[in-house]
């Protein structure tokens, strides 16, 4: 397999190390050693040494959610996410992606989203139409919100309306490239999708990015791939915190006790942890999870549920158990994808809320 020397070094350093064994959300959900970063490194090293074929480990390669808990916890600086993404790219180049991943990639390229969706729900279509006029401020919703959790996308719009903000929402919003980056890494198709989106964003002075996954891509990954945008890109949570500071979003604290699920894209990748807490604390009494901020535990997502539904359901259920284990009964999310994953768990002990739910009541 054609792999960079840097990644080979990381693979050979990780393959016999157990340091992050206990913190992988997928490994904890499956209970299988093969799901951990160490086992993934061991499999890749066997491919590099010609002992097995690349396609023999690809199911395992796509068990990684790229949350970076392993990277964050590693005191020696090794990066399993980096070599996992490089293997995905190499498999794409060699035509060795699993069929279920090829389908998602093809959908991203043809439809702009991994789900192959083309129509928005009626409520979202109407909400977008009300903000079709061009302004200096763009609300970028992202494909998960637009196609899979449209009710939350509508609520995201309503929150800004409540604050009296003048903004634009695109009817034909381009993909950020975040899904392709997850599926096949730094492929030409990924960079082209990112560049096309950046060109649209350049038409606005400020872009509010609703989904943390898109925010990570636009603010960090774009730069890594040589894609630039002139727009001022701000996360939805940071923008809401600013609205509260400016007394434009009027807060009324109802006294409800909640904990916050830090999205890893905000807390680890963008190092943004306090903005969401400022917003939540303005509307409720905020308690903390035992693992929070940079130590957060991923709670699942929509994309991986397309091919690992049972595993993602277990990941989400385990995070809800974390809530009840500290005697809490309500969790607030800032990621539409984690919100959907948590809501999908059949249970009646923990109330799952988005920040928009909390604000709108």
In this prediction the pTM is 0.97
What is the distance between the alpha carbons of residues 210 and 239, in angstroms, rounded to a whole number?
10
CA dist list (Å): 235 to 9, 145, 147, 211, 242: 35, 15, 20, 8, 11
**Fold category of 249-360 in CATH:** Rossmann fold (3.40.50)
Neighbours of 225 (CB within 10 A): 17
As beta bridge partners, residue 232 has 206
Residue 99 burial (CB < 10 Å; 0-12/13-18/19+)? exposed
CATH class of the domain comprising 122-242 = alpha beta
Q: DSSP code of 287?
A: E
Query: Residue 21: what pLDDT?
Result: 86
| Regions in the chain scoring below 70 on pLDDT | none
Do 249-360 and 122-242 fall under one CATH topology? Answer: yes
**SS3 category, 317:** helix
Query: Residue 357: what pLDDT?
Result: 98
Domain ranges of the chain: 5-94, 122-242, 249-360
């Amino acid at each position: 397999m054609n792999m960079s020397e840097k990644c080979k070094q990381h693979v050979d350093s990780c393959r016999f190390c157990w340091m992050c064994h206990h913190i992988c959300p997928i490994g904890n959900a499956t209970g299988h050693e093969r799901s951990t970063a160490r086992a993934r490194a061991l499999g890749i090293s066997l491919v590099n040494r010609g002992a097995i074929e690349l396609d023999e480990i690809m199911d395992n390669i796509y068990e990684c959610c790229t949350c970076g808990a392993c990277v964050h916890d590693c005191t020696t600086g090794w990066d399993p996410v980096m070599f996992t993404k490089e293997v995905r790219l190499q498999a794409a180049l060699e035509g060795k992606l699993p069929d279920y991943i090829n389908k998602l990639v093809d959908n991203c390229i043809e439809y702009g989203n991994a789900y192959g969706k083309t129509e928005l729900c009626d409520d979202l279509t109407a909400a977008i139409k009300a903000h079709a006029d061009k302004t200096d401020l763009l609300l970028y919703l992202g494909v998960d919100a637009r196609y899979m959790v449209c009710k939350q996308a509508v609520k995201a719009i309503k929150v800004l309306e409540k604050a009296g903000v003048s903004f634009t929402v695109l009817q034909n919003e381009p993909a950020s490239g975040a899904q392709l980056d997850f599926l096949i890494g730094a492929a030409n198709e990924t960079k082209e999708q990112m560049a096309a989106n950046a060109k649209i964003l350049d038409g606005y002075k400020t872009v509010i990015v609703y989904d943390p996954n898109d925010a990570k891509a636009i603010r960090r990954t774009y730069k890594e791939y040589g894609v630039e945008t002139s727009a001022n890109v701000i996360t939805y949570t940071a923008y809401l915190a600013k609205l509260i500071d400016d007394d434009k979003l009027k807060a009324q604290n109802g006294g409800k006790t909640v904990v916050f699920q830090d999205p890893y894209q905000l807390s680890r990748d963008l190092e943004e942890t306090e903005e969401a807490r400022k917003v939540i604390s303005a509307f409720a009494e905020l308690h903390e999870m035992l693992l929070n901020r940079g130590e957060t535990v991923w709670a699942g997502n929509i994309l991986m549920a397309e091919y690992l539904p049972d595993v993602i359901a277990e990941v989400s259920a385990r995070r809800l158990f974390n809530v009840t284990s500290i005697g809490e009964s309500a969790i607030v999310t800032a990621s539409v994808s984690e919100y959907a994953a948590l809501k999908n768990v059949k249970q009646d002990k923990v109330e799952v809320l988005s920040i928009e739910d909390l604000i709108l009541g």
